[in-house]
Amino acid sequence: MSCCGTNPAYDELDEVCRLVSARLAAFLRTLRDNGFPVGLHEGRDAAVLMAAGYIERPGLLRSAFKHLFSARKSDWDKFDGLFDAFWLGRRVKSRSMTMGSVKAANSPSLKSLQDKRSERTGGDAATDQIPSADDAPEARAGEGRMEGASRADNLAEIDFRKMADPEQIEEAHNVAARLAKTMRTRLTRRDLARRRGYRLDLRRTIHSNISHGGVPISLVKRQRKEKPLRLVMLLDASGSMSMYTGVFLRFIHGVLDEFREAEAFLFHTRLAYVSDAMKEKDPARALDRLSIMAQGAGGGTKIGESLQTFNRWHAARVLHSRSCVMIVSDGYETGDAALLGREMAALAKRCRRIVWLNPMMAWRGYAPEAAGIKAALPYVDLYAPANTLKSLTELEPYLAKL
Amino acid sequence: MEGAQIVIASEAKQSSFFEKEKLDCFVASLLAMTADNAPAMKTREEIAQALAASGYIADSELATAISLMQLLKRPLLLEGEAGVGKTEVAKALAAAHATELIRLQCYEGLDQSAALYEWNYQRQLLAIQAHRGDKADTIEDQIFSEKYLLERPLLAAIRRRTPPVLLIDEIDRADDEFEAFLLELLSDFQVSIPELGTITATTIPHVILTSNGTRELSDALRRRCLYHYVDYPDVDREARIIMARITGAGASLSLQIARMVENVRKEELRKVPGVAETLDWAAALVGLGVRDLHDVPETVHETLMCLLKTHEDKSRLTREISERLLGKVA
């Protein structure tokens, strides 16, 4: 379609040309469905390439199209598979079809694929991070240490684990979203109030006073530009946290929606980057997409290894000097605790603050004795309980100060 | 790569859309419309050769990207880890075209006056003082003329007689606002200066943008550009790079160095050594008169500091490990 639109002689072309044009248009549509940012311009350029003789050698055409249509590393990596599948009839790896970036979210074909997928995985362990009404009661029965939670007089103080009622869960989700909203407004106001640090900008002063013959009458000053605070959240989705993950996911969803700059990661035995999936407007759909990405959640926790992955592959991109890293985890490390300590040290060098939220902390008699949490604590700026919505609200003044 | 192409080609023959006569017909009809684009195909191998002549060993995909750049007149966005030779591509391209390289290094807070143009205020003021008594209009005409305009890289790039190579380095370090401004320039290739009017490009420069991924770039900019991901070179290519860049590095030594570096890259390191580090190390070894890495394991271990840039990595690669890695080098 896009290439045809720019082709003035479309009606005069014979059937073959029309067939190839239609096929190219279909390929562009496939790419769009897979999250490639392909527009009219690219379609026209693709036609130019085919005309320039690239079409005679598929290997070359593939390489040329790859440069033209890819926009980032993830596109770059999966392009060859898509090209082969479309033009040469080879099978594509299912991963590249289903785990496309967020841009593809509006395409019906991908959605149906995802829905099918989540239905399929609905029964297995991957979805137990979302405490639905069905599986919560059994989990409750299995847990023996619930009495440690604060006595509830209103919803805000009920331990997340006790909220099996879907309505209550819904309410908790809403509170989390509201909280994220208030935190954000606080932060931005704080940011504005700080904008001082005046210096005289000589060059601009002279420039603006040329009309006065160079006599500096109106002064131009320089303001320091403050970056907005960036919140990077790392959520533990392992089995021991499964009662809390649902609410925190909703909280993260609120944070990603409301903060100007926020990124989210999920980890259990490995780390998954979930910001793209979470930026979906509909929370239920976001959770569906997540459940696909978080295959293997609900098992053990390798916090150290996950942090290592984070430091190595993501930290340079998502962290800057005004970043706050928020780790939500119970600190039960099944991997190497020493590694966790090392990675926490590396992380602490890169960001402004590390906040560690531990839902277990409010339990009566809990002491941070797990090897993991012991190794991590020296590098944590704030270690706080987060088992109730109220405890989340209590964080707000601290975050506003950053 | 060649092998893969042949396989694809043979499969393509079975596919109805690659049938020869139909294609010829389609290509012919399209060629008639865009007749001037035909020669670009031939230049692809020439590009690789020209780059090699100026010391950059390109893989075939990069050569394709550069030929596309010329065919489609689009900027090329290079992404990849630090030290894989993204900036070198631009330098080699400029040398291959025998043209000027104009470089704009991006940083936080980079603005129009540092990237595009600025008036020479001091000279303007002097002129005003010197022509005191002239009519205001005359002075104004004079001080807002070309003579008082300071060209910055972007303006310089579109006003050259022969198209230069414009390297916009580390675009991810600039602010979002600058990115939007750059996008406008890259699509129109014209600049409007309020006091002087619109300046249209005399030539369209070859634009190369590089990014280290410290910030996610906007989709608009990504879409405007051709994309190429620069990966660490494979052993063979890295050996050829060493031979091309380090005088005195023989074929066998270069291959050994490349293999050793590949082994080092497989270790869990904080900072994975790039091509630049490899070249440093090769230069050091050649300078020390090393002919064969196996003869001098101590020297190898001691000079590894050329590759390892953090204390942690240095302490991780102990003497035993470096000897084990060296042992794997055939």
Q: Which SS3 state, helix, strand or coil, does residue A232 take?
A: strand
- Overall average pLDDT of the B99-106 stretch: 94
Residues 6+ apart with CB under 8 A from A336: A304, A305
Distance from CA of B244 to the nearest CA of A (A): 26
Q: Of residues B114 and A364, which shows the higher confidence score?
A: B114
* ipTM of the prediction greater than 0.95, yes or no: no
Q: How confident is the model at residue B177 (pLDDT cuts 50, 70, 90)?
A: confident
Q: Longest C-alpha distance within chain B, in Å?
A: 84
Residues above pLDDT 70, as percent of chain B? 87
Q: Is any Cβ of chain A less than 8 angstroms from the Cβ of B136?
A: no
Instruction: Report the gap between the CA of A60 and the closest CA in chain B (Å).
Output: 8
* pLDDT score recorded for residue A385: 81
Confidence band for B165, pLDDT divided at 50, 70 and 90: very high
Location of structure tokens 């925190």: A248
Residue A212 identity (one-letter amino acid): H
- How far is B152 from chain A, CA to nearest CA, in Å? 16
Mean pLDDT of B84-111: 90
Enumerate residue ranges in chain A where pLDDT < 70.
1-14, 90-166, 168-173, 175-199, 222-228, 258-260, 280-283, 286-287, 291-299, 364-365, 368, 389, 396-397, 399-402
Report the candidate in A338, A78, A180, A44 with the shortest Cα–Cα distance to residue B33: A44
Is the Cβ of B26 closer than 8 Å to some Cβ of chain A? yes
Helices (H), B15-132: 20-33, 43-53, 60-72, 86-97, 112-115, 121-130
- Res A11: pLDDT: 54
Q: CB–CB of B219 and A71 under 8 A?
A: yes
Q: Burial code of B301-318, b = ≥16 C-beta within 10 A, e = fewer? A: bebbebbbbeeebeeebe
Give the pLDDT of residue B22. Answer: 52
* Cα separation, A307 vs A347, whole angstroms: 8
Cα R_g (chain A), whole angstroms: 26
Torsion of the alpha carbons at B111, B114, B115 and B121, rounded to the nearest 10: 110
pLDDT tens digits, A326-360: 898 888 887 788 888 888 988 888 887 888 888 88
Predicted local confidence at residue A154, as pLDDT: 42
On the question of pLDDT at B16 being above 60, the answer is no
Rounded to whole angstroms, what are the CA distances from A376 to A224, A319, A368, B31? Answer: 34, 19, 10, 65
DSSP readout, A83-126?
HHHHHS-PPPPHHHHHS--GGGGG-HHHHHHHHHHHHHHTTSGG
Query: Could you tell me if A23 and A83 are in contact, meaning their C-beta atoms sit under 8 angstroms apart?
Result: no
Please, what is the average pLDDT of chain B?
A: 83
| Distance (Å) from the alpha carbon of A75 to chain B's nearest alpha carbon | 10
Contact state of B72 with A39 under an 8 Å Cβ cutoff: no
The Cα–Cα gap between B34 and A285 comes to 46
User: Does the beta-carbon distance from A63 to B38 stay under 8 Å?
Assistant: no
* Measured distance CA(B69)–CA(B79) in Å, rounded: 16
pTM, two decimals, is: 0.67
Do residues B69 and B206 lie in contact, with contact meaning Cβ atoms separated by under 8 Å? yes
DSSP codes, B108-161: TT--HHHHTEEE-HHHHHHHHHHTTTS-HHHHHHHHTSGGGEEE-HHHHHHS-S
Chain centroid to Cα A217, Å, comes to 50
Burial code (b: 16+ CB inside 10 Å, e: under 16) for B136-168 equals eeebeeebbeeebbeebbbbbbbbbeebbbbbb
The answer to which of A71-80, A124-133, B51-60, B301-310 has the lowest mean pLDDT is: A124-133
Mark yes or no for CB contact B68/A68 under 8 Å: yes
pLDDT in tens, B263-283: 999 888 878 899 999 999 999
Most A CBs within 10 A among B22, B26, B231, hence the mutation to make, goes to B26
Instruction: Check residue B83 and give left, alpha or beta (phi > 0: left; psi -120 to 50: alpha).
Output: left
Model pLDDT for residues B202-217, shown as the tens digit of each residue: 988 999 999 987 777 8
Q: Do A45 and B72 touch (CB under 8 A)?
A: yes
Residue B101 has pLDDT above 90, yes or no: yes
pLDDT of residue A98: 36
Among the partner-chain residues B8, B68, B223, the one whose CB lies closest to the CB of A67 is B68
